[in-house]
């Protein structure tokens, strides 16, 4: 059973809600969870599924709609060995890069948390850089092309950059990844860091930018719209 949900609440409702799917699953079945819902949430659900004789492959995907459309997803998996082998044919069909990061559910979420720290920071940094280019009077499209040919290039800059430039100009960019998704994901990042007593000042600053966007009514906008928060006169 392949599952893609938005958050922990949706996962629990899907599995164990009023019309939850667990009663319809046979013992020995496995659930492949492709979503980012948090480490502890997956550990709790995995234990409950295990009591029902069902395995869980914690397999969050990374790459977004663009790379998904190309079949170019990174899938990081946390699963017990027998569950991993059971799910492996499906996982290999999904991924261009399949990495078994740990032999227990929750480890996939751990890896995705690290991934989202970088993604969230990269989007915020790309927004600041392109906003600064605009405020300095540079042609932002030319600036983006130059940046993407040098050491500052990143997937997030190249992917979000064109939409950030649109948002800077006051246009409504196509929504490929909602801003409120990174409110959730950066919350998972900072909570995970807090649980191990580690400071993450850069990630925390990025989280505040997404929270500002949420407060500014940008929840359903593309996450590249954070550029408006550092140049509010453009919003």
Catalytic positions, written as ranges: 112
- Do 127 and 56 contact (CB within 8 A), yes or no? no
Cα–Cα distances (Å) from 78 to 32, 81, 122, 125, in that order, read 10, 9, 25, 30
Task: For residue 235, give both structure tokens.
Answer: 């919003």
- Distance separating alpha carbons of residues 206 and 142, to the nearest angstrom: 25
Name the 3-class secondary structure at 171: coil
Task: Output the DSSP codes for 38-52.
Answer: -HHHHHHHHHHHHHT
Bridge pairing between strands 73-78 and 61-62: antiparallel
**Are residues 38 and 191 in contact, defined by beta-carbon separation less than 8 angstroms?**
yes
State both tokens at 52: 């029902």
Q: Which contiguous run of DSSP H or E holds residue 7?
A: none
Report d(CA 47, CA 133) in Å as an integer: 50
């Amino acid at each position: 059973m392949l599952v893609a949900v938005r958050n922990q609440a949706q996962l629990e409702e899907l599995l164990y809600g009023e019309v939850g799917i667990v009663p319809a699953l046979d013992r020995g079945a496995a659930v492949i969870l492709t979503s980012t819902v948090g480490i502890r949430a997956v550990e709790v659900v995995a234990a409950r599924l295990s009591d029902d004789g069902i395995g869980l492959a914690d397999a969050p995907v990374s790459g977004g709609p663009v790379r998904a459309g190309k079949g170019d997803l990174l899938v990081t998996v946390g699963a017990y060995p027998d569950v991993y082998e059971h799910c492996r044919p499906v996982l290999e069909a999904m991924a261009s890069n399949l990495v078994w990061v740990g032999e227990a559910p929750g480890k996939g979420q751990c890896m995705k948390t690290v991934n989202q720290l970088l993604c969230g920071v990269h989007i915020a940094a790309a927004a600041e850089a392109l906003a600064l280019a605009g405020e300095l009077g540079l042609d932002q499209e030319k600036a983006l092309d130059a940046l993407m040919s040098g050491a500052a290039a990143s997937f997030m800059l190249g992917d979000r950059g064109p939409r950030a430039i649109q948002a800077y100009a006051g246009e409504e960019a196509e929504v490929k990844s909602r801003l409120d998704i990174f409110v959730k994901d950066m919350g998972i990042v900072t909570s995970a860091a807090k649980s191990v007593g580690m400071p993450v000042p850069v990630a925390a600053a990025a989280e505040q930018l997404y929270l500002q966007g949420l407060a500014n009514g940008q929840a359903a906008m593309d996450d590249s719209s954070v550029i408006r928060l550092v140049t509010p006169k453009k919003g």
